[in-house]
Amino acid sequence: MTASFRSASTTALAVAALLTVGTAHAGYRMTAFGGTLGFDEIMSEDYDAASELLDSRYAELDRYARHANLCVSLLKSKNVEGAMASCQRALTVAPTDLSSSLLPGIGKRTAIMTHLYSNRGVVRAVAGDVFGARADFERALSLDADNANARTNLEYISANDVAQTEQ
């Protein structure tokens, strides 16, 4: 797989393609948080190293980013259950982490929450929870209607629903 990503330095986010081309889930996109623990390993497709580094308990700064990156890494390693736990943990700790005055302003906080909901939606989709996935993508879009990942993910799951209905 070639990892396609674009940097968005204004939000300190980088977007990575989720699954290898040719899998049933190749159309989904997730966000790995750039400049944070495990990001370089994810982008170099060394998911075992990323997961090991991100699963270490010493890293408590940027907890939401650590858990979000672990979610991406675990899903890329086909550990759906672990990915779901990490995505849920990212969403749980993010409000507390993001309320710190040392972290990004409100616009960036909204962008971060948008990406976290979209990531969890992808995990839910891969796990077969279409309704939960759709709800997460819609929640992400309610926070930021212009979020490309959430929009792409919602369109992808909708297209697959239509294709399955027509079969």
4 CB burial (10 A radius; 0-12, 13-18, 19+): exposed
For 98, phi and psi rounded to 5 degrees? -80, -10
Q: Which position has the higher pLDDT, 161 or 53?
A: 53
CB atoms within 10 A of CB 96: 10
The answer on pLDDT for 19 being more than 50 is no
Query: How confident is residue 135, by pLDDT bands cut at 50, 70 and 90?
Result: very high
Predicted confidence (pLDDT) per residue in 115-129, tens digit: 999 999 999 999 999
HSE at residue 25, side-chain half, CA atoms within 13 A, is 20
80 CB burial (10 A radius; 0-12, 13-18, 19+): middle
Tokens representing residue 162 in the block: 């239509």
List the domain range (segments joined by +) for residue 89: 5-166
pTM: 0.80
Could you tell me which of 101, 51, 100 has the C-alpha nearest to residue 72? 51
For 58, phi and psi rounded to 5 degrees? -75, -20
Report percent pLDDT > 90 for the chain. Answer: 41
- Across 26-42, average pLDDT: 83
- Across 143-162, average pLDDT: 89
CA-angle at 25, arms to 154 and 7, nearest 5°: 70
pLDDT at 38: 85
Tally the domains of the chain. Answer: 1
- Across 76-87, average pLDDT: 94
Q: How confident is the prediction for the chain on average, in pLDDT?
A: 79
pLDDT at 98: 80
- Across 63-79, average pLDDT: 90
Could you tell me which of 69, 61, 2, 63 has the C-alpha nearest to residue 33? 69
- Residue 91's domain is classified under what CATH number? 1.25.40.10
pLDDT at 102: 60
125, 133 Cβ separation under 8 angstroms:
yes
The answer on pLDDT for 5 being more than 80 is no
HSE at residue 152, side-chain half, CA atoms within 13 A, is 17
The answer on pLDDT for 136 being more than 50 is yes
3, 16 Cβ separation under 8 angstroms:
yes
